[in-house]
Structure 1
Amino acid sequence: MKIDSQTVRWGIVILAIAAPILYAAWLHYQRNNFTCESHLTIVEGDSTVDSLMSFSFQHGSGVYDSTGEYSPPGQPTVTISNKINFKYWYEEGRVILVSDETNALPKKDEPFRHYIPDFFYYRDRGISLGIVQVNASGYLFSFGNSPAFYCSKS
């Protein structure tokens, strides 16, 4: 079978139209479907919170899962964990997360909770984050206008 020049030209035109559309669809998919992990240490005076966190984003629904330790001064270390199901959407260059369900442990009000947004402890609370892919292997999460942590793709 012989291919004539007109068929080749139309093939090139179709490919030139389809390639940017497919690339845009791939970028949109990558933006809305990713999972990443981060290690966060918060120090306040002699107290520390050391936590491993995981975020999963899938088409407007997500899951946050964390586990770690709270070390108050002069007291035994307390194991902490939290799992949050949330909805998210993009608005004015930010990502808005609203918690559907939370399961923070321990249930008592530890002093470190005063520094952590309500989104992480109460249902139907929101938080606005900047999430920027900074390289092929991770994202920078920012709160307000300040970088908060780096999250590695998993």
Structure 2
Amino acid sequence: MNKKIKILGGIITVLVLFSPLLVNYYFKYKENNFSCRGKMNVTKSGAEYSSSMEFNFKDGKGKFYSIGQFSDADNKNKKVIIHFNFTYLYHNKNDVVLVSSEGIKNSELVALLSPLLPDFFLTKQRGIIFEIHRQDSNYVFINDNMPYLLCSKK
């Protein structure tokens, strides 16, 4: 009986000692592995772009998918689908550097959207820095001290 109590005590001691590491791993995993969806509306000089978008983050690699509608003062209307992979790394606690792995191949579409969207969304090997703050089940993407996107966890 004494031997069983010593073994059980040893197991409990090991679990207590390693529990902070397990908790830390869990929170780091959640920080590096998440997916969210959001909507964006951008208007500038008579042009407008509205889209639904999805970000998937997984261990330094990510996927971006967006479907939207572009319109301008000249009544150009165009359905826009953007899909590409990206890499990311944490610069500070909340600063995340994202770099696109691919770009939009349609140069006319890039010309239409470039006044409205950062190069990260349009051109291969372009980066953007977001502060990503988790709030409940949402993520707030901040760029240049301004909220850029509210992204709801999937």
TM-score by length of 2: 0.86
Is the CA contact (8 Å cut-off) linking 1:81 and 1:105 kept in structure 2?
Answer: no
Residue 95 of structure 1 and its aligned partner are, at CA, apart by: 0.5
The residue aligned with 1:140 is 140
Q: C-alpha distance in 2, partners of 1:46/1:12?
A: 66
TM-score by length of 1: 0.86
Residue 72 of structure 1 and its aligned partner are, at CA, apart by: 1.3
List, as ranges, runs of 4+ consecutive aligned residues in structure 1 with deviation greater than 4 Å.
1-5
Q: C-alpha distance in 2, partners of 1:99/1:71?
A: 25
Is the CA contact (8 Å cut-off) linking 1:80 and 1:105 kept in structure 2?
Answer: no
Query: Structure 1: 5+ residue runs without aligned partners?
Result: none
Letter in 2 for 1:103: I
The residue aligned with 2:101 is 100
Is the CA contact (8 Å cut-off) linking 2:43 and 2:116 kept in structure 1?
Answer: no
Task: Summarize the Cα distance change of 1:105–1:41 in structure 2 as closer, same or farther, 3 Å threshold.
Answer: farther
Q: C-alpha distance in 1, partners of 2:76/2:147?
A: 31
The residue aligned with 2:63 is 63
Deviates more, 1:70-79 or 1:59-68: 70-79
Is the CA contact (8 Å cut-off) linking 1:142 and 1:149 kept in structure 2?
Answer: yes
% identity of equivalent residues: 29
| Pair 1:42-2:38 in alignment | no
Tell me the SS of whatever aligns to 1:101: coil
The residue aligned with 2:77 is 77
Query: Structure 2: 5+ residue runs without aligned partners?
Result: none
Q: Write out per-residue CA displacement over residues 108-147 of structure 1, whole angstroms, 9 at most, x where no aligned residue.
A: 411x421321111111111111111111x22111111111
| Pair 1:131-2:132 in alignment | yes
Q: Write out per-residue CA displacement over residues 69-113 of structure 1, whole angstroms, 9 at most, x where no aligned residue.
A: 012135142111211211111012310111111236573411x42
Task: Summarize the Cα distance change of 1:41–1:61 in structure 2 as closer, same or farther, 3 Å threshold.
Answer: same
Q: C-alpha distance in 2, partners of 1:80/1:3?
A: 69
Is the CA contact (8 Å cut-off) linking 1:82 and 1:105 kept in structure 2?
Answer: no
Q: C-alpha distance in 2, partners of 1:141/1:104?
A: 26
Tell me how large the CA RMSD over aligned residues is. 2.1
